Amino acid sequence: MKNSILFLLGLALMASCQSVQVSNNSTADLTPSTVDYNNLDKNAGIINNTNSPNVKLKSIDMGDCKWTEGFWADKWKLAEEVMIPHMGTLLKGDVGHGYNNFKIAAGLKEGEHKGFWWHDGDFFKWMEANMYLYAINKDEKILNELDEIIGVIAKAQLPNGYSSTPAIIRDDINQYENRKYHEMYNSGHLFTSACIHYRITGKTNFLDVAVKHADMLYNLFQPMPDSLKRFGFNQTQIMGLVEMYRTTKDKRYLELAETFINVRGTFDIIEDETTKGYPIGDMVQERVPLREETEAVGHAVLALYYYAGAADVYAETGEQALIDALDRLWNNVTQKKMYLTGAVGQTHYGASSRKDKIEEGFIDEYQMPQMTAYNETCANICNSMFSYRMLGLKGESKYADIMEMVIHNSGLSGISIEGKDYYYSNPLRKIDGSLDYSKMNVEFPERQPYLKCFCCPPNLVRTIAKSPGWAYSKSDNGISVNLYGGNELNTTLLDGSTIKLSQITDYPWDGLVNITVQECKADPFDILLRVPKWAEGATIKVNGQPVEAIPGNYSIVKRSWKTGDVITINMPMDTKFVEAHSRIEELRNQVAVQRGPIVYCIESADLPQDTNIVDVYIDGTSDLKPVYKPNFLGGLATLEGNVLIRSDKEDKEAMYHAIDKPKLKSTKASFIPYYSWSNRGQGEMTVFMPVVW
């Protein structure tokens, strides 16, 4: 570790114009913490919005809902037994080296920093995933291991509160020298993980680290010096700071979170010493102030973390301009730049509509390539995170529809069925020989046991681990049912009364859901039942008596509930062909197959040998029938029917060639859920196909 004085930041203070030196062991000029540890907020929501004044649906506490059987119970159990422990083996060892970096920074191990600059944040996400497991299984081994890790992280932290390991370990990197080192990303995940740890365990050892670091950020960035205005571009720190405010009640953290929103778009977009090595402008959402922005631009993960953070700030401030901007951006993402699977980020490299270079992100509206669709797993997860926050703010079911779409499709597609191999990008079509994977840094012909850029795997497993907390929310006088799956809920409503529900269903393979009231208060209250937009013809009955069900809305049932009351929701699971908007040129005259919330695809493994995926046509007259296969790809429902395969193509290499009437042969085939593709070796795949009626 270095002991020399780090570079002169040149922070122009508003009044005195004095410069500040930041060194490894400096504690000067730090305002003492104002956190009152005797007055911490013990509410244990995934996002702690219980006391947020501008939230309609509040988070339930972690551990209050447990998946008990069926689809999500199986996925959660796999996360508990395989996904998260296996990932820990990678990150704590010499493959992932995330923990090693902290040990080296703490002086407990010899070595060099390894991995990308943002690897600390990925390690914090894995820690967070473990906390969600502990909230339900109460396995003391998890808690003991986390305590040991937290001790190392605390030892690695510098006296001034700085915590990012690259600049601690390496002599050639200074604190806040260049934003490409992603120090704010690491900060945000530190804050979030530490808050979750405190809420679940009641311990303050991790929160101590986060408070010290947050105080350092406040002193460094508030007021925002010109030399650091462009550092908050990877906006996880906004969400993290809001959670720090909610947990500690220290208003400085909310103030700083809002400052990181306000500063965007207030400076000249030029390359300087702090931006070299990373694209500028729309790539990092710095060209247009958030409140004036009209479209989602740039890196999809950075953008959606930004929007989610702004939603958290709005939950506390209620500023109309913020929610107006978030409404515009949510609509732009979901209605003009999102794939059928809920995936976002159309391209690896490209340009924004304002002609800034972008990577891993959004391009123009309705430009939706299929084979080269980037759709980073993190971006898809962030799409659901943003929608979860908008669900809380607005209380409208359309946001839960997006959450459901992502977690059943483009979220789960990022990890293999057995839980040990990963995809970074999630295209909707794969054609052998069409991409030169040697020229790509994160795309591969099949799933990988480790990704050098390891941000996506821990993001996905922490989402699976916390998914029970998304299933329900608390309304003003009741409970909302956001997601369906076999579960048990034991929570308190906002008035302090207890409610216990049990949910029995084979969803998403079957649309029948039975919810039984196990315990509740005597006074009337609401149960809000989400009817997905796709669920045309859905019915709801309470003790056999029908209740209105409108697709795309919550059905609000207010009554004096009693133990033993049964709610029966029946959502028809018809197999549907889905057509894209006419402006999506790549998909004209093609359709995809969807059943309930599940989007299906077809793979080489389910077609005659040597069939090219581009020669497969959907037979519009064939009935595609669901067949549940408990021992196939982790247990799922395939769709069985006929497809048409074209056999007359002769000159496939020519760019253009004349044809006669295509020759199509009918053959039996199986469609599988998109999330389960690429689990049977290399092969081709497509979601959309031309259709013959």
Q: What is the CATH number of the domain that holds 314?
A: 1.50.10.10
Last residue of a domain, one of 554, 570, 586: 570
Could you tell me if 551 and 582 lie in one domain?
no
Q: Is residue 4 part of a domain?
A: no
pLDDT, residue 638, reads: 98
Could you tell me if 180 and 277 lie in one domain?
yes
Q: Which helix (H) or strand (E) holds 546?
A: strand 545-547
Q: Is residue 19 part of a domain?
A: no
Could you tell me if 107 and 122 lie in one domain?
yes
Q: Give the separation between CA 22 and CA 173, rounded to whole angstroms.
A: 13
Residue position matching structure tokens 């090219």: 612
pLDDT < 50 regions, the chain: 1-28
Full residue range of the structural domain in which residue 475 is found: 471-570
Number of domains the chain is built from: 3
223 upstream amide cis, omega within 30 of 0: yes
Q: Give the separation between CA 559 and CA 395, rounded to whole angstroms.
A: 20
pLDDT, residue 661, reads: 87
User: In the sheet that 545-547 helps form, which strands lie side by side, from edge to edge?
Assistant: 65-69, 486-492, 498-505, 512-519, 566-570, 539-542, 545-547
Q: Give the separation between CA 155 and CA 158, rounded to whole angstroms.
A: 8
Q: Give the separation between CA 244 and CA 238, rounded to whole angstroms.
A: 10
pTM: 0.94
Strand partners, 499: 491
Q: Is residue 555 part of a domain?
A: yes
Could you tell me if 552 and 501 lie in one domain?
yes
Q: What's the Cα-to-Cα distance from 628 to each of 174, 346, 495, 638, rounded to whole Å? A: 56, 32, 43, 6
Contact criterion met (CB below 8 Å) for 225 and 268: no
Could you tell me if 563 and 596 lie in one domain?
no
Last residue of a domain, one of 469, 498, 528: 469
Could you tell me if 368 and 502 lie in one domain?
no
Q: Is residue 16 part of a domain?
A: no
Could you tell me if 78 and 189 lie in one domain?
yes
Last residue of a domain, one of 570, 592, 627: 570
Burial class (CB within 10 angstroms; exposed 0-12, middle 13-18, buried 19+) of 132: buried
Could you tell me if 452 and 476 lie in one domain?
no
Could you tell me if 462 and 522 lie in one domain?
no
pLDDT, residue 607, reads: 96
Q: Give the separation between CA 502 and CA 514, rounded to whole angstroms.
A: 8
Could you tell me if 374 and 520 lie in one domain?
no
Could you tell me if 162 and 59 lie in one domain?
yes
| CATH code assigned at 492 | 2.60.40
pLDDT, residue 52, reads: 97
Could you tell me if 417 and 498 lie in one domain?
no
Q: What is the pLDDT of residues 128-148, one digit of tens each?
A: 999 999 999 999 999 999 999
pLDDT, residue 42, reads: 86
